[in-house]
Every structure is written in C-alpha cells, then in structure tokens.
Amino acid sequence: MSFLPISKQEMEAQGIRQPDFVYVIGDAYVDHPSFGHAIISRVLQAHGYSVCLISQPDWKDEDSIAVFGRPRLAFLVSGGNMDSMVNHYFVSGKRRPTDAYTPGGEAGKRPDHATTVYGNLIRRRYRDVPVIIGGIEASLRRMAHYDYWSDSFKRSILLDSQADLLSYGMGEKSMVEIAEALDNGIAVRDITFIPGTVYRTKDVSGVYDGITLPSYEEMKAEPEKYAESFQTQYCNTDPFTGKTLIEPYPNGIYVVQNPPQPPLSTQEMDDIYDLPYMRTYHPSYEAAGGVPAIFEVKFSLVSNRGCFGGCNFCALTFHQGRIVQTRSHESLIREAEGMIREKDFKGYIHDVGGPTANFRHPSCQKQLTQGVCKNRQCLFPSPCPNLEVDHSDYLTLLRKLRALPGVKKVFIRSGIRFDYLMADPDDTFFRELVAHHVSGQLKVAPEHISDAVLEKLGKPKKEVYERFVEKYEKLNEQLGKKQFLVPYLMSSHPGSTLKEAIALAEYLRDLGYMPEQVQDFYPTPSTVSTVMYYTGIDPRSMKKVYVCKNPHEKAMQRALIQYRNPNNYDLVKEALIKGGREDLIGFDKKCLIRPRKTGRTLDGQKRDGKGKKVQGPRPTEKTKKKTIRNVHKKKQKG
C-alpha cells in the first residue's frame, strides 16, 4: 500500500508510463476518506485506472500542470474540499490568514475560483484532452448562480472553466461511468447519458422529458426569474423523480443537467471506505508541519451521507441529496480498529457522524423507491407524519464502538438534529448521549429564536429548542453531569431585521449566556437562503423577504448577540436606538447596556465614557486652575 504519485519520479517508481487520469486539486494531497480527491482517486484505482495527482499547481505557469504529460483519458479538476472563495474569505470580505488544507496552513497556495482557473490553465496547454470538473465548488456552481464575492450573477462553471463535463454530487458512480465511457472510445462530447453529470451542447432535440429553465440572460436581467429557476432545480434533486434540466445561453448554447445518481447502498458505501487509504497526508509535507485539516478528522468516523434536515442555508440538498445513506457497523468497526492501532491514538474517537450525526436511515421507506417529496420537508415546519424516528441502530453502533479494547470515549461532534431527537418517544439514546458521548459541551444549531427568522432558515420553532434544552439539563442533573450546550447562532439571515436581532439578544440575556462565536450569514452558492439574499424573494413562496445587506446594519445585528462585549457597546447602543428600544439602555436588570457616564478631566475638557473628547468651548486658564484646586481639595479630605 502506498500513496498515489504526486511527482514524475513517484509515477515511474510505481511503473506508470502514462497515467489514465491526471487529477489537479486545490488542496494538499491527503489520502484519507474525508477528502474528496482521495476517494475519487482510490475508487478509480480500484476499477483498474491509474491516477496521478498535481496538488496546488502554480496557476501562473502552464508547465505546472504538465508534470505527468498528457493523460491517456482525461484531466480531472477539483478546487478542493471547500469552495475556494469560502476557503479564502470571511463573510466580511477580509482574507483568511491561514488555509487548513495547505501544508503548514499557509494561505495563498490556490487561486480564487480555483476550478475555473485550473480548467483554463489546462485548456491553454492541452487543447484536445478531455477536462472533467467535480468537487463541491463545481457541484454547487453547476448551473447559473449568484456569486457573493463579486456580487454578480455568474454562468455555469462548466462554461467558465472550459471543461467538457461536470460531475456533481459525491461523484463515485458517475466518475467510474465516465472513465469506462472514455476507455471504450466514446468521445467526451458524446457522453451525455450519465446520471450526476452536466454537459454543454447546441442540440437538445435528443433530451427526453426535460425541463427548460429561464435563460441565463433572463435571470441576469430579472432576478425573480432566478428564484423561479432555483425552485425548479430544488424540486429536481432527487434521483427517483428528478428531471433533466436545460439552461439556455446566448449563441445557441445549452447547459444540460442530468438527474442525480441513485443513492449508494450500504455495501457500496462500505466498499468505498474500505479502500486502502494511507489515512494521512503525503510525507513530502512533513517538513512544513503537515496539513492541519487532517487533525480534525483523523480519529473520526463517517457513518452516513445525505440529510433530510432541509436547512435553507445549507447546500447539502444540492450536493449529497436528502436520502440518507449509511455504512454498516462492521465497516465502521474495522476502521475504528485500524485507528486504535495507530501510534498517536489516545483512546478517543472524536466523532461518529456525517452531515447530521443522528440520521442513520432514510426518513421514510418510500424514499428508497419513490424518492423524497418535492414540496414537503421531512422535519420542517414540523415532523412529517410519515417520518420514522428511530435512534436504535445508531445507539447500537455507539455501544459497539465504546466496547472496543483501547477506546476510552466516543464523542459526537458533527451535530445533533435536536428536533428529530425530541420527536423520538424513546429517550434511551438521549440519555446515553448525555451519559457517554458529550465532551463537556454539546454543539447544537438553533440558529435563532425568532419564529419569523426560523421559518426562513428552515429550522424548527423556538419552543422545540426550549423543550430540548430543558430535557438536556434534566438528564444532566439526573446523571450527575455538569455539561453545557454550545448553541450556534446566526446573524443577518434573510428575514432578520433589527427587531429580531434585539429579540435574540434579550433571549441570551434571560438565558445568561454569551456566545464566544457568532456566524454572520454567508451567502454560498446554491442554497435557498442565498437566493433570498440575492433576489429578495423566498423561492418557495415567491414572496418578498427582508434582506440585510448594509455592512453597518450587519455589524449591529452581529454585535447584539455579543452585547456584553465592551468593544460592541457603540454598535449595540446605535441598534437599540434605531430599533426604538431605548428601554434596554439603563440600570434595570432587563437592560442590555448601561448609559456611559461623561465628565471633565483635569484639563477641563468634557470626555465620553471611552475618554474621547466631546466637542465644546475650550476651557480658560482660570477654569483649568479651579478644576485642579478642587481635585486637590477632594484628595486632602479623603
């Protein structure tokens, strides 16, 4: 077992004369199943194809993607485990100082819009070699989309990257089918039949039962057309009911999205995760201190994919889908036993989960044959009557992992869906969660407490979270535990005005809790919330929604959540005044902030509570001397 080649010397040492695929990636090469490039490479290798990787090439130098020469079948391109723009920038637009997916955490090793840049780099050097793009960046930008960082409406990334084909979603099945088609001599322009792919064409006469979306030009001119298009796309993310989607562009070009790939069976999931991963970063990165991203996942287990939670700010519906897919207990235990044998394992499995840890089966049995409902969520606004709430399989898995020799503790860190937990009439799992699987703090994501904002977030009502908190505290008391909740909260989400932001601050005041971190809403591609942000329309109802875009108001909403922080005083005060809530400025216990005292200093100048000068007439020499005499008298009396 060895790493895949990342240099010509390694390629030759492994007896590869010409690789079938050259995989260009925006991350460092980490051969671990939490990294998309590792899974796709190992899956292709398992099917008999050779893969060489070019990690973080110099995008200003065409020679950087010619390391292995011309691949036999195609170039594969992925921007990395994260969208490169999210990787590079905070929501404020400020550049992040580090990159966890780069050796030593060094920033700046990949370009903005990495998939597009790499695709064009390859195309300049190799005009006639097929280029297939995939990964999260390509997947969520596969059709026309709003780009927050440029505040513009962009074309499909398939066009901008000059790629021939796009694999969306997790990609294992579609990549194998693409490889087999190319290997059998089918021209890449004729590979139009594989589920989970997007292609471009000038002839859509052969598309059966397709839905034509508004054109790119229409959507760019009328954002409400984009809201309509997005809702159609959202309703066609299911492999059982999804239709082929056609997006027209100028000059007779069409971008065509085939329906998604079917969900993986448990056996298929097991086969993927049982492949011979090295489970760490390439040794060439050791001198730089390794790749930081591995340390969070090295001793964690991925037990599921997909999520029927339906949060509007999350892109999982577009990428992994709503049908939950799981690995077997046997596969997970084999991986855990391998962890235990590693020399730096300290006895703690950091996580057993996925997008939502406590989803271990589809929400209802009909999903496996008929797909998910197009116009009904499983949990929102309340649990569907057909929802199967059962934690028994997950509980059995956790018990098996806890019992393994060498395991001291099994934690759950990838997040618990608390409304699903509260819908379970059997509290056995909840009790064992509190007793065995919380590392002092349990992370949950209520996001907000205003029902109006929660409706736009796609989250359960406030009273569901309050019942969960009450039960969590009660179980901790019964079990003699002192464990806390860490609620994730979001500011400035569409639907949130200063009124709702102030209500959230009041809730935190009554709770006696002040969060250390606050997430300002981040409009990432292909989410319902981002469509609201761009268009001002809720695509589900086509009704208008309030959107906070002003940077100063966003700062006020964020500051209100941390109103006790002295650095936020001015913003909080301004927000309360602007929101007509001066009653929350005072000395009553219900007030958020106190008035700041002002007075004169020795120089006779008025200053505010921060010591800044308040404009007024300059004091005379007589006034200054009088002030100094009064201060001396007070000192003598004291």
Q: What are phi and psi of 255, to 5 degrees?
A: -105, 125
DSSP code of residue 10: H
The reply to whether domains 8-199+249-257 and 299-439 share a CATH topology is no
CA distances from 61 to 57, 58, 66, 78, 121 (A): 8, 6, 10, 18, 8
pLDDT of the residue at 599: 45
Encode burial over 582-609: b for 16+ CB neighbours within 10 A, e otherwise: eebbeeeeebbbeeeeeeeeeebeeeee
Beta-ladder partners of 443:
486
Does 265 score more than 50 pLDDT? yes
Quick one: CA torsion of 540, 543, 544, 548, rounded to 10 degrees? -20
* DSSP secondary structure letter of residue 152: E
Query: Is residue 506 packed enough to be buried (19+ CB in 10 Å), middle (13-18) or exposed (0-12)?
Result: middle
CATH fold of 8-199+249-257: Rossmann fold (3.40.50)
pLDDT in tens, 168-194: 999 999 999 999 999 999 999 999 999
**Measured CA distances, 2 to 122, 249, 278, 482 (Å):** 27, 45, 7, 45
Please write the tens of the pLDDT for every residue from 97-139. Answer: 999 999 999 999 999 999 999 999 999 999 999 999 999 999 9
Q: Distance from CA of residue 247 to its chain's centroid?
A: 26
For residues 238 and 310, the answer to whether their CB atoms sit within 8 Å is no
pLDDT tens per residue, range 443-471: 899 999 999 999 999 999 999 999 999 99
Q: What is the Cα–Cα distance from 265 to 274, expressed in whole angstroms?
A: 14
405-442 confidence digits (pLDDT tens): 999 999 998 888 999 999 999 999 999 999 999 988 89
Cα–Cα distance measured from residue 261 to residue 274, given in angstroms and rounded to the nearest whole number:
21
> β-pairing, 543-544 with 537-538?
antiparallel
pLDDT band at 603, cuts 50/70/90? very low
Angle at 195 between CA 189 and CA 201, to 5 degrees: 30
Token representation of residue 283: 């040794």
Its sign, for the CA torsion 309, 315, 318, 320, is: negative
Six token digits for residue 257: 């999205």
Mean pLDDT, residues 552-580: 96
Higher-scoring residue by pLDDT: 43, 598: 43
Tens digit of each residue's pLDDT (9 = 90 or more) over 4-53: 999 999 999 999 999 999 999 999 999 999 999 999 999 999 999 999 99
Q: Is 587 helix (H, G, I), strand (E, B) or coil?
A: coil
Task: Name the band, by pLDDT with cuts 50, 70 and 90, for residue 370.
Answer: confident
Task: Please name which of 256, 294, 249 lies closest in space to residue 104, comparing C-alpha atoms.
Answer: 294
Kind of pairing between the strands at 409-410 and 165-167: unpaired
Tokens representing 53? 């990787």
Beta-carbon contacts of residue 533 (< 8 Å; ≥ 6 apart)? 146, 148, 494, 521, 523, 547, 549
With contact defined as beta carbons under 8 Å apart, do 300 and 32 qualify? no
Q: What burial class does residue 199 get, using C-beta atoms within 10 Å of its C-beta: 0-12 exposed, 13-18 middle, 19+ buried?
A: buried
487 Cβ contact list (under 8 Å, min separation 6): 444, 445, 446, 465, 513, 515
Cβ atoms 469, 486 nearer than 8 A: no
Is residue 454 within 8 A of residue 461, CB to CB? The reply is yes
Q: Mind listing the pLDDT tens digit for each residue in 468-497?
A: 999 999 999 999 999 999 889 999 999 999
DSSP assignment string, 465-492? HHHHHHHHHHHHHHTT---EEEEEEEES
**Which residue from 337, 269, 280 is spatially nearest to 303, judged by alpha carbons?**
269
Q: CA distances (Å), 36 to each of 40, 221, 430, 498, 554, in order? A: 6, 36, 32, 40, 34
Q: What per-residue confidence (pLDDT) applies to 376?
A: 87
The average pLDDT across 192-219 equals 96
Quote the CA–CA distance of 513 and 130 in Å, as a whole number: 55
Residue 137, C-beta contacts closer than 8 angstroms, at least 6 positions apart: 26, 78, 79, 80, 82, 83, 84, 113, 114, 115, 157
In this prediction, residue 517 carries a pLDDT of 77
CA–CA separation, 474 and 588 (whole Å): 30
Tokens 């065995």 -> residue:
436
Q: So what's the pLDDT on residue 623?
A: 61
Does residue 246 have a pLDDT over 50?
yes
Beta carbons within 8 Å of 565's beta carbon, 6+ residues apart: 514, 559
Please give the Cα distance from 371 to 181 (Å, whole number): 28
Q: Which CATH class is domain 299-439?
A: alpha beta
The answer on pLDDT for 604 being more than 50 is no
**What is the band of 2 on the pLDDT scale with cuts at 50, 70, 90?**
very high
Band (pLDDT 50/70/90 cuts) for residue 611 is very low
Instruction: Report which of 97, 121, 119 is spatially closest to residue 108, judged by C-alpha positions.
Output: 97
pLDDT band at 617 (very low <50, low <70, confident <90, very high): low
DSSP string across 3-55: PPPSSHHHHHHTT-SS-SEEEEESS--EESTTSHHHHHHHHHHHTT--EEEEE
Is pTM beyond 0.75 here? yes
Whether 518 contacts 562, CB under 8 Å:
yes
- Paired with 78 in beta bridges are 25, 134
Instruction: Residue 77: name the closest of 208, 3, 190, 171 by CA.
Output: 171
Q: What residue type is assigned to position 58 of the chain?
A: D
Other beta carbons less than 10 A from residue 439's beta carbon: 13
If DSSP codes are grouped into helix, strand and coil, which group holds residue 289?
Answer: coil
Write down the domain spans for the chain. 8-199+249-257, 299-439, 599-637
For the chain, the residue count is 638
Sign of the four-CA dihedral 58, 63, 69, 72: positive
Q: How far is CA 531 from the centre of its chain?
A: 16
- pLDDT given for residue 616 in this prediction: 54
- Average pLDDT for residues 54-71, to the nearest whole number? 96
CB atoms within 10 A of CB 476: 18
If you ran DSSP here, which 8-state letter would residue 104 be given? G
Which band of pLDDT confidence, cut at 50, 70 and 90, is reported for residue 584?
Answer: very high
- To which residue do tokens 């010619």 refer? 66
User: 10 Å Cβ neighbour count for 165?
Assistant: 24
